[in-house]
Structure 1
Amino acid sequence: MSAIESIYSDDFAYLDDSGRNFSILISNEHKASLSFHLQPGYPQEEAPSYTLTTPSIRGEIRQALCEELSGFIGETFHQQCCLYEIIEKARELLLQIPLPAVEAVQPLRRPEAETSGDLVGDVPEIFHGEPFTERRSTFQAHLAVVRSAADVEVVGRELRRNRKIAEATHNIMAYRISAEGGVVISDCDDDGEAQAGSRLLHLLNIMDVNGVVVVISRWFGGILLGPERFKHITNAARNILTEHAAIAGGPVTRTRVT
């Protein structure tokens, strides 16, 4: 127990004087905590008993979270200590769940940019990949040619004018632009899908793509995909980049994708 207390010192609290009941804050964003109640037979005879508290997560999403965590414990517990693995698994699962609406507002969704009157200058042509669904989550890629960070902002605003895209659970974005002197300007936005933006930007880097912004919309369907979600995000981006020949600085075709 001392090892767990040391690892999670700031988030760890005993619930009584027995030393076998304690709570750990596992997500500041969701205000979620995991309370453990260790029976005398743990770990040789009994798996740890736990209570997951998630004030901001309810309904089907909470049910899916609990089922996933329970299944993991069933697979992991083999009459040996597994508290660390359970805690980290719970944290990993929570990273996949959208933040409460008030906290999930990201640059791609600023309300003041919702109307066409806010657009400045020409809107780059935006191409849309074919949407596809995996285990009830739907993914769709969008791509545009850009020459500046201002162009990227304009593209984001234009995409938000589509209500379906604006209501996506996540709109993950990355762009890469070659500036004067060979300097590459790039940035990304997770939009609440932890680590997804940086992975998308990594794809642009390894494909040596320049002068484009890629946005991947994901509509969460209630089933946690785990690390598999990154594969679908990457595949959606790679497909639209390849379809429009946006590889190694190549030109993007001008045929609109609908």
Structure 2
Amino acid sequence: IDEIEALSSIYGEDWCVVDEDEKIYCIKINDCLDQPKWTICLQVILPPGYPTAEPPIYQLNAPWLRGQDYMELANSLEEIYVQNLGESILYLWVEKIREVLIEKAQSSDPEPDIKKTSEEVDEDDGDDFLLDYQPIQEDPIKMLNYITSESQEVDEELPSIHHGNPITDRRSTFQAHLAPVVTPRQVSR
């Protein structure tokens, strides 16, 4: 409890209590620039045995943090825990993450390539869905009847499903799944 109070006073608004009863906390860490390029959100759950017998359960959230970068940072945090067994380590973890972000900001690494998925811009310029198609020369009513006819049992090919990269925000993970469908039967399959 003393550690949590200390962290709250040190980090101010960046420190967040998610659930005090369950001992879930979150801190937003950046590279200390006037306009930060690199930011990570560290979420920790303090188990009953922390700090004497159990490490904090943690999650690192940043859209750009993947693969090798994630593994290196996770290994650094686990190494800090092992070097400081039985001691409070959250402050050390936060400062290690900040150190990594500052190094990234000072190196030649470009800004993170983050595709904004929460912003939606609706511009109707007519070019949203340009499809390469040939106009139908036959009677459109006759064609519509052919397409929607239940009596026609056509073995349609199922469309391929494209899976997006998972995005984790707070305690939720989101992943997009897209498939191009052209008939109602493909949707129901």
Structure 2 length normalisation: TM-score? 0.48
More strand by share: 1
More helix by share: 1
* Bigger RCO of structures 1 and 2 (CA < 8 A, at least 6 apart): 1
- Indicate the structure (1 or 2) with the bigger Cα radius of gyration: 2
